[in-house]
Amino acid sequence: MTNQIQSEQHRICNKCHQTKSLNEFRLNARKSGLRRDCRDCERFYQRQYYNKNRVRLLKRGAEWRKANPEIVKALNQQYYDSNPERRKQQWLDYQKRHPDKVTARAAQYRALKRDAYIADCPQVRAIYKEATRLRQQGLDVHVDHIIPLSKGGEHAWYNLRIIDAKVNLRKSNTMPCKDLLQEVMRCKNKL
């Protein structure tokens, strides 16, 4: 009877003793042929083993990653390349959760392209955070570089201010008035 059931399409799992179809068994990694335990049992025992040895396994994994940075990088890249949809969704979620960080990073990137001095400090981040808060309240504001980046202005808190978007667009890349310019320099030199 058992032999009949354990035909070419089925076999009995040696863990749960259920008769299952062959595609419920994975290939044996060491020997040829299929594993003797079914996928469900394999997963169950793997999880049990993991939970029991979690701390040790996490530590071993961290050590391995530290010793093999090139492989980790390649595997990450592989995952990154093969999951474009997931990547896109993660990026959208991140943008929704951290709009201030996204605009701050974009501004930093623009400054970087102009070879401007960049102060990536809490004050700069706070300004972008505040601008985002105001936008969420419905105000149309921009973070403006008082001395434009294109005129040698720095991406630093003393050269940043929150202004109305329309004013900022009208201002474009013109230099500020003399008083304001002096104020920026005074703040900078106080550091």
- We find the least distance from the C-beta atom of residue 36 to Zn ion, in angstroms, to be 9
Residue whose CB is less far from Zn ion, 25 or 158: 25
Residue 15 as a binder of Zn ion (CB under 5 A): the answer is yes
Residue 10 as a binder of Zn ion (CB under 5 A): the answer is no
Residue 38 as a binder of Zn ion (CB under 5 A): the answer is yes
Instruction: Determine phi and psi for 149, rounding to 5 degrees.
Output: -55, -35
- We find the least distance from the C-beta atom of residue 33 to Zn ion, in angstroms, to be 16
Q: How far apart are CA 16 and CA 72, in angstroms?
A: 36
Residue whose CB is less far from Zn ion, 13 or 156: 13
Residue 114 as a binder of Zn ion (CB under 5 A): the answer is no
Binding Zn ion (rule: CB under 5 A), the pick from 13, 124, 141, 184 is 13
Q: Which stretch binds Zn ion (CB under 5 A): 37-45, 136-144, 156-164, 165-173?
A: 37-45
Chain residues binding Zn ion by CB under 5 A are 13, 15-16, 38, 41
